[in-house]
Amino acid sequence: MNRPFELPTADAQPQSDLPWWKGATIYQIYPRSFMDSNGDGIGDLPGITQRLPYVASLGVDAIWISPFFVSPMKDFGYDVADYCDVDPIFGTLDDFDTLTAEAHRLGLKVLIDQVYSHTSDEHPWFSASRSSATNEKADWYVWADAKTEGSPPTNWQSVFGGPAWTWDARRGQYYLHNFLSSQPQLNLHNREVQDAILGVMRFWLERGVDGFRIDALNFAMHDPQLRDNPPAPDTGKPRTRPFDFQLKTYNQSHADIPAFIRRIRALTDAFDGTFTVAEVGGDDAEREMKLFTHGEAHLNSAYSFAFLYADALTPELVCKALSEWPDEADMGWPSWAFENHDAPRALSRWCEPEHRDAFARMKILLLACLRGNAILYYGEELGLTQVDIPFDQLHDPEAIANWPLTLSRDGARTPMPWTTQSPDGGFGSDNAWLPLGEENHARAVDRQEANENSLLNFTRRVLELRKANSALHHGSVRSCRADGALLDMVRESDGQTLRCLFNIGPDPIQIPDGNGSTLLRTHEAEPGHLPPYAALILEI
């Protein structure tokens, strides 16, 4: 019987003197949707703990847990009301400690999401700040007087639609919010605010976490002169939000952010093996990611958006993304993801339904072949697709505000399917906060565990290959060539050279010089020949 993959045992091993995170595979868990332990329809920390053996079986190095802190959940945890406690819908601090201990027992590092650019308007800090212009936290958020005719201080627009300023009668001023009006902007120019944030980091480090994914870091500081943003040139792409009409020159990307990052690095260096990765999106992301990770005094890595919103996966896109992160002194280390909680599922964006089986294998192998850290979104190893959520079942505030022009983030946040036998997919509740989706139910873990040729088992073999071969795990990119639908990448390290060949197209490709020893192949690929959406890893 022909198998869709073959994987001989590899002998090469990654260097043991590297930090654990360099070349790591990180598994992102969206806690609301992973596993519900108490039947209330919302996933929780005990549910994650229950499923950690499965996560460890994938061969990943770490988990990243999206926010589980006390929050009114207007943006589902990215509006934090208490940085140092667990929201009751997710459990307790004791539950988190149990989760961390079990993860460490299984050899998994634990990363948590941190939101430092803003809080919830229900955070005690904001309650104090808005009470008067003279209290001790009056300058902890960004406040400004109205213009003489009463309009907002600047023309800045929020990501979720509408002005980035909201009038507050108690202060008699406007406050800044780059996202929802219930997410007021912290004033990180204020040293006391920085100290408070560093105190939050210390709280979790002392509790045993191994690192942080820092949300929206380039929004952390604004222009104190409150200058208007200039208009953005018309690119011909649809503009669904006022935010799209401006260059974000003054409401983000302030030059003082790296100095705050250096304070973060000084703290994390006091704890062994801590890893930090910044989320940096927007028009100037490449420059900012390099700035935020430069040398040994800044963050360890930055989280690239190169693939998350791409309409198509192309060889040119891959080579361009890799070229931005050359193997040079003081250059930061990239982290890559094809999917996350904010972006549509990649299989729904990048291929037609009839090609998904082949494409999913090629895609997983490509992620593992990129130089940097690989971030796998929960369910990606199962081939989950975007679920179409009806308007009356939407929770995503951005999708509701911009309906129907903005694709719902909810469709990528649907429950993890564990079993095919139960109506809830084994999630733990028949009344989950979002629908499971029939297609995804059919891709449940139990069905794929029983099939040695499943995408799930293929993913395990891919991650095993990545760990076992230094060229893939942490090696350099000697070359990356795009030729039509062919992606031809050469990785090398420690005397090992691997040629990674991908056909990102529907037609077969002949490769006259495709010689070498096969380490892994998909869908009958072989030296010299790549079927549609197939991949081949050769040692040369």
Model pLDDT for residues 364-405, shown as the tens digit of each residue: 999 999 999 999 999 999 999 999 998 988 988 888 887 776
Residues catalogued as catalytic: 215, 279
Task: Decide if 153 contacts 177 (C-beta within 8 A).
Answer: no
Using alpha carbons, list the distances in angstroms from residue 259 to 93, 264, 276. Answer: 32, 9, 15
Rounded Cα–Cα distance for residues 244 and 256 (Å): 25
DSSP 536: E
Of the candidates 40, 39, 99, the residue with the CA atom closest to the CA atom of residue 68: 99
**Would you call 301 helix, strand, or coil by DSSP?**
strand
- Residue spans of the domains in the chain: they are 7-119+190-467, 476-539
pLDDT value, residue 283: 87
**Phi/psi at 65 (nearest 5 deg)?**
-105, 120
pLDDT value, residue 9: 39
Residues 7-119+190-467, CATH architecture: Alpha-Beta Barrel (3.20)
Residue 524 CB neighbour total at 10 angstroms? 14
Task: Decide if 183 contacts 132 (C-beta within 8 A).
Answer: no
Task: Decide if 166 contacts 174 (C-beta within 8 A).
Answer: yes
Which residues lie below 8 Å from residue 450, measured CB to CB, with a gap of 6+? none
Rounded Cα–Cα distance for residues 181 and 162 (Å): 9
Task: Supply 36's token pair.
Answer: 């519900």
Rounded Cα–Cα distance for residues 205 and 183 (Å): 25
**Phi/psi at 396 (nearest 5 deg)?**
-65, 115
Using alpha carbons, list the distances in angstroms from residue 488 to 184, 411, 481, 523. Answer: 46, 33, 5, 17
Segment (H or E) for 94 = helix 93-105
Tens of pLDDT along the chain (540 residues)? 333 444 433 444 445 689 999 999 999 999 999 999 999 999 999 999 999 999 999 999 999 999 999 999 999 999 999 999 999 999 999 999 999 999 999 999 999 999 999 999 999 999 999 999 999 999 999 999 999 999 999 999 999 889 999 999 999 999 999 999 999 999 999 999 999 999 999 999 999 999 999 999 999 999 999 999 999 999 888 888 899 999 999 999 999 999 999 999 999 999 999 999 999 998 899 999 999 999 999 999 999 899 999 999 999 999 999 999 999 999 999 999 999 999 999 999 999 999 999 999 999 999 999 999 999 999 999 999 999 998 988 988 888 887 776 668 999 999 999 999 999 999 999 999 999 999 999 999 999 999 999 999 999 999 999 999 999 999 999 999 999 999 999 999 989 999 999 999 999 999 988 789 999 999 899 999 999 999 999 999
pTM score, whole prediction:
0.95
Homologous superfamily of the 476-539 domain (CATH): Golgi alpha-mannosidase II (2.60.40.1180)
Task: Supply 27's token pair.
Answer: 């598994």
> 């140092």: which residue's tokens?
84
